[in-house]
Amino acid sequence: MARLIIHVDMDAFYAAVEVLDNPDLAGKPLIIGALPNERGVVSTCSYEARKFGVRSAMNIKEAYRLCPHGIYVHPNISKYAEVSRRIHKIWDVYTDTVEHVSLDEGYLDVTNSAQLFGGAVCIGQDIKDRTLEQIGLTCSVGIGYSMMSAKIASEEGKPGGLFEIADADALKMLIIDRNVRVICGVGVQTAATLEQNGIKIVRDILANVDKVRDLLGKHGHDIVRLADGVDTRKVATPPKSKSIGKEHTFQKDITDFEYLRDALRLMAKRLSHTIRLDGLRCKTVTLKVTFSDMRQITRSKSGDHVSTAREIFAAVGALLDKIERRPIRLIGISLSGLTAEPTQQLSLFDTAAEERKDDLEQMLFDLQREYGLDKIGTAREKLARENLHDD
Ligand code: TTP
Ligand code: MG
């Protein structure tokens, strides 16, 4: 039986979420990433900014040269993750087989459920409508007979479209004269190797099957199959990630360890928020540090399962106290050994005072879940937030 795969990809995702929060930004060239006076790159930009040639991963200085009148905003990953969770809930209505590729992109295998909803096109249209009504954002939907065809279809309809590629012949007709990069898994390096051997477009791959296999071995074999429209990869709900982390590269190297503690406090809060929204706790807390000479170290602490910001910060703060006091370029935290929080959580602390602090943190967490992570916090956190932004 032929498969029915849907690929959904949000349009200008980070930028669109920022517009949702501040409608004055609508219709303007909006660039999310580093600010022009910082070192860093563009995460994404609105379609208005793309008209000036600005692109994801472009150096921010180059973006500023192309679009000096653009509005430059730091990314706020926890905000996008929150929106992403709501988007995923819409997709989950149509099938149990969903693969979340990133915050804004996913595959749905609707082979068995399409009939129930009036066909794959109806599901695609429904997803677009609901995403607009419930979240206020637009997405592009591709329908295909395989993962690659669905992905190419969604790109075809970008922004805001719905496009279908019914079979291998339709796919080949569409991509035969496109650059080899259109094939999944053909990155810059592979494309360069192929081009050095006179293979620039999909048609060249199909006309030089043996050459591609000789040049690239097993990878070449896969590329030939994909170029021929054969893609048997299955949509797979990946196992929950076993670790989660956050890190920050400073504009200037930092020697003030109190400042570093504030940075860690803020990261601990954000990580705690993320794992608690997923009902998780962690066994190991790791501190990652890159010194000004680029030497990198990690220090870990394992023990009782923890999930609150206070517990995570206590672990990571103690690790920070033990490292050399030298200028630091990057600092980060990762949490591993993630497991589901038991419903009946055991008290991790003995004294009543500490339990009261946990109650307070729980209240804060509930408020933040309701009103947004950055809206509620202490004055100290506000200060740290003003100096830091998510990478
Ligand atoms: P994309 O889906 O590649 O880009 P997009 O959603 O901004 O725009 P569109 O799909 O309409 O072309 O990536 C999703 C988000 O991932 C994007 O909003 C920002 C982030 N991202 C980066 O941070 N760096 C990158 O290099 C890329 C490509 C994306
Ligand atoms: Mg996108």
Instruction: Please report the beta strands in 117-181, taking only residues with DSSP state E, as ranges in sequence order.
Output: 139-144, 162-164
* pLDDT for 391: 44
Nearest to 42 by CA among 29, 59, 25: 59
Do 266 and 382 fall into the same domain? yes
Give me the mean pLDDT over the 352-360 stretch.
55
Residue with CA at minimum distance from ligand 1 atom 7: 12
Domain count, the chain: 3
Ligand 1 near 44 CB (within 6 A)? yes
Model confidence pLDDT, tens digit, residues 3-38: 999 999 999 999 999 999 999 999 999 999 999 999
Residue bearing tokens 């109190």? 258
**Strand 280-291 and strand 139-144: pairing?**
unpaired
Ligand 2 center from residue 176 Cα (angstroms): 24
d(CA 132, CA 125): 11
Q: Among 77-81, 268-272, 274-278, where is mean pLDDT lowest?
A: 274-278
Ligand 1 pocket check: which of 13, 50, 102, 105 to mutate, most ligand atoms within 8 Å of Cβ? Answer: 13
Phi, psi of 290 (to 5 degrees): -115, 125
Model confidence pLDDT, tens digit, residues 297-317: 999 999 888 999 999 999 999
* pLDDT for 56: 94
Give me the mean pLDDT over the 110-117 stretch.
96
* pLDDT for 378: 61
Ligand nearest to the CA of 17: 1
Ligand 1 near 147 CB (within 6 A)? no
Do 382 and 267 fall into the same domain? yes
**Strand 98-102 and strand 139-144: pairing?**
unpaired
Ligand 2 center from residue 87 Cα (angstroms): 13
**343 has a pLDDT exceeding 60:** no
Ligand 2 center from residue 106 Cα (angstroms): 10
276 within 8 A of 307, measured Cβ to Cβ: yes
* pLDDT for 106: 95
* pLDDT for 277: 76
d(CA 108, CA 110): 6
Per the prediction, the chain carries an average pLDDT of 88
Residues contacting 47, CB < 8 A, separation 6+ = 11, 12, 159
Ligand 2 center from residue 313 Cα (angstroms): 33
Do 330 and 250 fall into the same domain? yes
Residue with CA at minimum distance from ligand 1 atom 15: 13
Ligand 1 near 146 CB (within 6 A)? no
Do 259 and 380 fall into the same domain? yes
Q: Which domain holds residue 342?
A: 243-388
Ligand 1 near 159 CB (within 6 A)? yes
CATH number for position 253 = 3.30.1490.100
Ligand 1 center from residue 10 Cα (angstroms): 9
CATH number for position 175 = 1.10.150.20
Do 267 and 207 fall into the same domain? no
Do 254 and 175 fall into the same domain? no
Ligand 1 near 13 CB (within 6 A)? yes
Residue with CA at minimum distance from ligand 1 atom 5: 12
Residues identified as active-site: 105
Nearest to 101 by CA among 87, 113, 112, 120: 87
Percent of the chain with pLDDT over 70: 86
In a domain, 324, yes or no: yes
d(CA 377, CA 358): 15
pTM above 0.75, yes or no: no
d(CA 81, CA 241): 15
Model confidence pLDDT, tens digit, residues 188-243: 999 999 999 999 999 999 999 999 999 999 999 999 999 999 999 999 876 556 78
Do 294 and 335 fall into the same domain? yes
Residues contacting 115, CB < 8 A, separation 6+ = none
Ligand 1 near 105 CB (within 6 A)? yes
Ligand 1 pocket check: which of 20, 47, 56 to mutate, most ligand atoms within 8 Å of Cβ? Answer: 56
